[in-house]
């Protein structure tokens, strides 16, 4: 009878070893796959960096083009209005406190202000994008640290469960042993 128990014990131990080997091999493969994926992601960084730099350059060029085109069109509009209407208004409304030339200057300042605001908006958009990138970077760091802690707690809980289970099994064996005696 004792030999049969020993056989079962050996068989169980063999299954446990085999299970551990399978789990270890599977997790090692997962680690290798993770490493390969991280290396691939690192290789992609240069491509993504170039893409991001291109995006920023395009944004800056677009803002410049928008501002320059807007200012050029406003210059044309102001020149056209000044040429055709200013002499008429100056003659007709010379008695009022605001002159057409003043109105044109105010309009030109408004156009310049609009252009400055468009450029500032592009700068703000880029700053927001950088802030979001920094926030994502910080979030990833916190996630990394938190996952390490969660993993540590999980391992400790599993070890505690294993120890408790072992103690319980030992207590049950001792109790069976005492009943037989």
Instruction: Provide the domain limits for residue 94.
Output: 2-180
pLDDT, tens digit (0-9, with 9 covering 90-100), for 119-142: 888 888 888 888 888 898 899 889
pLDDT, tens digit (0-9, with 9 covering 90-100), for 16-27: 888 888 888 888
- Better-scored residue on pLDDT, 181 or 155: 155
State the pTM of this model.
0.47
Confidence label for 111 from pLDDT (cuts 50, 70 and 90) = confident
DSSP state of 1: -
Helix count (H) and strand count (E) of the chain?
2, 0
Q: What is the pLDDT of residue 130?
A: 84
CB atoms under 10 Å from CB of 108, counted, come to 16
Domains in the chain, number: 1
Confidence label for 108 from pLDDT (cuts 50, 70 and 90) = confident
pLDDT, tens digit (0-9, with 9 covering 90-100), for 47-97: 778 887 888 888 888 878 888 888 888 888 877 777 666 666 666 555 555
**How many residues belong to the chain?**
181
pLDDT, tens digit (0-9, with 9 covering 90-100), for 140-157: 889 989 999 999 999 999
Half-sphere exposure of 179 (CA within 13 A, CB side): 6
């Amino acid at each position: 009878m004792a030999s049969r128990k020993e056989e079962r014990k050996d068989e169980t131990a063999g299954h446990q070893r085999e299970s551990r080997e399978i789990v270890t091999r599977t997790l090692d493969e997962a680690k290798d796959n993770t490493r390969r994926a991280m290396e691939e992601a690192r290789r992609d960084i240069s491509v993504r960096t170039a893409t991001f730099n291109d995006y920023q350059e395009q944004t800056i060029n677009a803002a410049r083009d928008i501002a320059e085109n807007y200012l050029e069109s406003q210059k044309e509009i102001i020149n056209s209005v000044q040429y055709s209407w200013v002499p008429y208004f100056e003659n007709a409304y010379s008695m009022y406190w605001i002159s057409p030339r003043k109105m044109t200057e105010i309009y030109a300042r408004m156009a310049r202000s609009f252009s400055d605001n468009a450029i500032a908006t592009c700068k703000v958009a880029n700053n927001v994008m950088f802030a979001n990138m920094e926030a994502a970077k910080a979030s990833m760091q916190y996630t990394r640290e938190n996952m390490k802690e969660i993993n540590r707690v999980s391992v400790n809980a599993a070890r505690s469960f294993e120890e408790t289970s072992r103690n319980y099994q030992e207590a049950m064996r001792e109790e069976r042993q005492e009943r037989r005696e």
